[in-house]
Structure 1
Amino acid sequence: MEEESQEAPPPKEYISSSLTLRTRMNIVNEIARALTPRQKELFQGTCFGPWLQLQQTRGDPALTHLFLQLQPIGIQRGEQEFWFYFPPFHYARFGREEFCLVTGLRFGRHDSFGPYIQNIHGPLWVFNVFPGYNRGGEGLKVSDFEKVLQEGPSGRLSDIDFVRLCVILLVEVGFTGKQSTQLVSPDMLSLAENMEAWNMFPWGSYLW
């Protein structure tokens, strides 16, 4: 975070409340346990590879609620940044640059998945993992992916197909906090067909 020293604002009253964090970064631990050595090597070769080394995977709702209340009112700030006040005299900014440094993910244009999936024919890999998948049907839920992860790698799945499933779970469950009953993005399924395109996608911008 970028720090600045300014005149302290008047004391504020903190509000007692509860907060639910829907992002579930402990999916990283589940993924790491499920991957075979070869699959772990493939996963580490993706743009999300470093996240297998994440040490603290549990969110802290109380701490999150506290620092949200530390956002000062009246300070001039851009739309793409957050400011926090740490008594007695310090302000800290957290913006796109800091998010990029923390996550290590690329930034760029992310208006849609269109430019990245327009030349991808598929997703053929999905039919290997989910033989009953109907592209024009209801779609796949997060719970469908979680079930395969819990079952672990099997002889019917290639290593790269299992890794595709894992990186999607990391994005959908770990970062964006989708619940088990929600649908996985069809565009994400298509993008995972080409892992080179997956790694080139500006995930930093998308998640920010």
Structure 2
Amino acid sequence: MDAFGNFNQHVNMPNDFGNMPNDQEMEEASMDPPSYPQSTIEVREKWCILQSLRDVMTPPIETTIRQTCFGPYLDNRCTICDSLLLIGVAQLQISTPFPHLGISYRLRGGLFTFIPKQFCLITGLRFGHTSWSPIEHPNLFKNIFFRPGSTVSFGKIMSLFENVGQLNEDDTTRICLLMLIGQGFLGWQKTNVVDNMLLDLVDNLEEFRQYPWGNYFWESTYSVVYNLHNRQKGDDKGFSLSGFVWPFKVPVNVN
């Protein structure tokens, strides 16, 4: 299977590339970006977590994480989330004429639609089918650290990370991966609920490595970025964004 896999089973992904509109149809259906007062945007992604991860990772833990698709992100030395650039993204975004394809922008007078294939090329996170389903056997990791059947907030993961020195290497690896995904990629806060899928996947690191993470991050971020151009507040107010919004800045930066 190639990195793009098959999008058919995912709600916010293109499912009919054979009937994609041509450039003229896209152009005719689009409109100019709206004009609105510039707001402030707080990006919740906190890549400063990387330094904290470096402080606790032993060589075996780092090796295990580098064997996943998240390995290259450990080398990211820029921890600044440029909110001004994201404002530029919002100002260039237009109402998407074909929302099942992706998110549209006006760049250099032309129409550009950001789709999952470009998301994959920029991030290195592949798309595809997944064999994951809620496990029938007990989740050992979850049952050790959390009450069986309970809802796990990200705040509980953060608390475990603060005491990670008391954990064995396997569990430290799991907590580091959850911190990287939750705080680095998605900008979760303490009250966010950790998906049972994530808890199951870190319990089985081989399944974790095989999972098509492009699916997860596209779906987690699409709904946040899709109507970014319509999110307006008063002149003295702004809003915050969760999700993996960094890839959506790249086309505007290139522009």
Q: TM-score range by the shorter chain?
A: 0.7 to 0.9
* Larger helix proportion of the pair: 2
Letter in 1 for 2:149: G
TM-superposed deviation, 1:100:
0.4
TM-superposed deviation, 1:118:
4.6
Correspondence for 1:134: 147
TM-superposed deviation, 1:203:
1.2
SS at match of 1:25: coil
Unaligned runs of 5+ in 2: 1-22, 219-255
Contact 1:34 1:150 in 2 (8 A): no
Mapped to 1, the partners of 2:135 and 2:154 lie a distance apart of 26
TM-superposed deviation, 1:140:
2.5
TM-superposed deviation, 1:58:
2.1
Correspondence for 1:121: 137
TM-score (norm 2): 0.65
Correspondence for 1:13: 35
Contact 2:32 2:94 in 1 (8 A): no
Contact 2:46 2:184 in 1 (8 A): yes
Correspondence for 1:108: 128
CA 1:91–1:10: 2 relative to 1, 3 Å: closer
1:98 aligns with 2:118: yes
SS at match of 1:149: helix
SS at match of 1:19: strand
Contact 2:142 2:148 in 1 (8 A): no
Correspondence for 2:155: 143
Residue of 59, 67, 73 corresponding to 2:81 = 59
CA 1:166–1:176: 2 relative to 1, 3 Å: same
Mapped to 2, the partners of 1:29 and 1:187 lie a distance apart of 26
Unaligned runs of 5+ in 1: none
TM-superposed deviation, 1:153:
2.9
Contact 2:135 2:200 in 1 (8 A): no
TM-superposed deviation, 1:82:
2.1
Contact 2:34 2:94 in 1 (8 A): no
Instruction: Calculate percent identity across the aligned residue pairs.
Output: 28
Letter in 2 for 1:126: K
Mapped to 1, the partners of 2:197 and 2:36 lie a distance apart of 42
